[in-house]
Amino acid sequence: MGDNRGPDRRVGDDDPAISTTDHIGLAETHSAHNYDPLPVVIAEGEGAWVTDVEGRHYLDLLAGYSALNFGHRNPELLAAAQWQLGRVTLTSRAFYNDRFAPFVTALSGMVGKDQVLPMNTGAEAVETAIKVARRWAYDVKGVPDGEATIVVAGGNFHGRTTTIISFSEDPEAYTGFGPYTPGFRTVPYGDADAVEAAVGPTTAAVLVEPVQGEAGVLVPPPDYLPRLREICDRERVLLIADEVQSGLGRTGTIAACEHTGVEPDAYLFGKALGGGVLPVSAMVANEEVLGVVRPGQHGSTFGGNPLAGALGSTVVRMLREGPYLADARALGEVMRTRLKEFGGAGVLATRTIGPWAGIDVDPSLASGRELCERLAARGVLAKEAHGSTIRLSPPFVVSEEDLNWGLDQVAAVLTDLRASAGSA
Ligand SMILES: *Cc1c(COP(=O)(O)O)cnc(C)c1O
């Protein structure tokens, strides 16, 4: 006691003794090292901006991996949460709650499906889809029990559970965590022929990200999803779109699948569905798919809770009625135009879809990590994907002026790196 470094002492946001260094020191000592954060300790957020414990401001071009599509502390979402906090926050699914029906009705209606199975994290939505697809294969398709397979794409990111990492190709995510869950076949992303060759009478589903986010904002060829749709229809296989990151406006549309006019059998949503306040996720599909789940077979204590329902319904209303999709598209245009300037020495490729971009930097110029450190030093927060790729996913509430300023900082970091490479 009396020592502000001890775990007993409350870390107050107005306590000047707790500096960035102190916070990082305590965190490194008392938290598992399952992340390697940039050395920025965020204390407050508003809109597209955050402030650290020392009062420095940063433009947030990561937006919580798209969990913060509507920005930090969006007033509409805060109002919905605050209203609900004054009523009831958790009931469990042992009972109905009065936010549940409005939420599942709004979310299913948003994508033209019948039913929703609400969960919390994105990984749980993926786990739900795996269980539902297997059950559908046995009960509806007639696959012999225990033989169902699910076709997935190389380079995928679907979450961190033991089953999900069983079909990850990322050695960091996979190595040393076996034994692995069987029943998955991995084929290269963007290759419909490979999917066609992999599906057969025991295939339950093809599970795919319409745009691969963690892999570096990889947009597949335009005929990829339409061909998967054809193959799945022909072979009687469910097409499941993991839209946890790509959905809810990130590509300028409610679902990224819309860009190719493909309707999957199931959508998985998460991240932005909780409005940046809570983890809220869901599998959304028709009754002929979700109807295979009977009471007691799947669920979650927190899934469909009233606070989540209030936030999820508000997110759906904001997407349908608010300016957010139009704003996302306008920001996407700014990014598409500006990123063309970034081509040239040291930049191997840039990709954009909506306000979502991946920039592949020549690894000899800098690692993605170093780029992000240099960006943070200039007041911009971003996160590398794999290797030397950085991904930008601004919140939809960023002003064009601020976004342009942020992109100026990216350009300046690239210029600095080229200059030091040239003089080396
Ligand atoms: C983030 C993400 C997940 C996992 O979501 P969590 O909430 O972290 O469990 C699943 N799929 C995709 C495509 C994601 O981007």
Domain residue extents for the chain: 2-60+324-423, 75-321
The pLDDT of residue 343 is 78
The pLDDT of residue 328 is 98
- Would you call 383 a catalytic residue per the annotation? no
Range 42-47 average pLDDT: 98
Name the band, by pLDDT with cuts 50, 70 and 90, for residue 405.
very high
The pLDDT of residue 421 is 82
Q: Which atom of ligand 1 is nearest to the CA of 123?
A: 9
The pLDDT of residue 345 is 79
Range 296-303 average pLDDT: 97
Q: Tell me the per-residue pLDDT of 253-285, one tens digit each, with 9 for 90 and over.
A: 999 999 999 999 999 999 999 999 999 999 999
Name the band, by pLDDT with cuts 50, 70 and 90, for residue 14.
low
121 lines ligand 1 (CB under 6 A): yes
Answer yes or no: are the C-beta atoms of 316 and 385 closer than 8 Å: no
pTM over 0.85: yes
**Which ranges in 137-189 belong to alpha helices (H)?**
162-165, 171-174
User: Could you please report the per-residue DSSP string of 207-256?
Assistant: EE-SSBTTTTSBPPPTTHHHHHHHHHHHHT-EEEEE-TTTTTTTTSSSSG
Answer yes or no: are the C-beta atoms of 250 and 328 closer than 8 Å: yes
Q: CATH says 2-60+324-423 is which class? A: alpha beta
The share of the chain scoring above pLDDT 70, in percent, equals 96
80 lines ligand 1 (CB under 6 A): no
Q: Tell me the per-residue pLDDT of 153-205, one tens digit each, with 9 for 90 and over.
A: 999 999 999 999 999 999 999 999 999 999 999 999 999 999 999 999 999 99
Range 321-326 average pLDDT: 97
Collapse the DSSP code of 352 into the 3-class scheme (helix H, G, I; strand E, B; otherwise coil) and give the result: strand
Measured in residues, the chain has a length of: 424
Indicate the average pLDDT of the chain: 95
Range 391-401 average pLDDT: 98
| The pair of three-digit structure tokens given for residue 179, joined into one six-digit string | 């034994």
Beta-sheet strands, E only, within 280-356 = 281-285, 347-352
Q: Taking Cα atoms as reference points, which of 298, 310, 395, 329 lies closest to residue 106?
A: 310
For residue 197, the tally of other CB atoms under 10 A from its CB is 13
CATH 3.30.420.40 matches 75-321? no
48 conformational bin, left if phi > 0, alpha if psi -120 to 50, beta if neither: alpha
The pLDDT of residue 5 is 40
- Res. 244: pLDDT tops 60: yes
Degrees to nearest 5, angle at CA 73 with 109 and 82: 75
- Would you call 157 a catalytic residue per the annotation? yes
CA distance 339 to 319: 26
149 lines ligand 1 (CB under 6 A): no
Strand partners, 389: 360
Distance 422 CA to ligand 1 centre (A): 39
Annotated active-site residue in 100, 103, 113, 242: 242
- Would you call 131 a catalytic residue per the annotation? no
368 lines ligand 1 (CB under 6 A): no
Strand partners, 240: 207, 266
Q: Taking Cα atoms as reference points, which of 324, 273, 320 lies closest to residue 117?
A: 273
- Res. 35: pLDDT tops 70: yes
Q: Which atom of ligand 1 is nearest to the CA of 271?
A: 7
Q: For residue 337, give every residue at least 6 positions away whose Cβ sits within 8 Å of its Cβ, in sequence order, or none.
A: none
Ligand 1, pocket-test mutation among 68, 124, 126, most atoms within 8 A of CB = 126
245 lines ligand 1 (CB under 6 A): yes
The pLDDT of residue 17 is 62
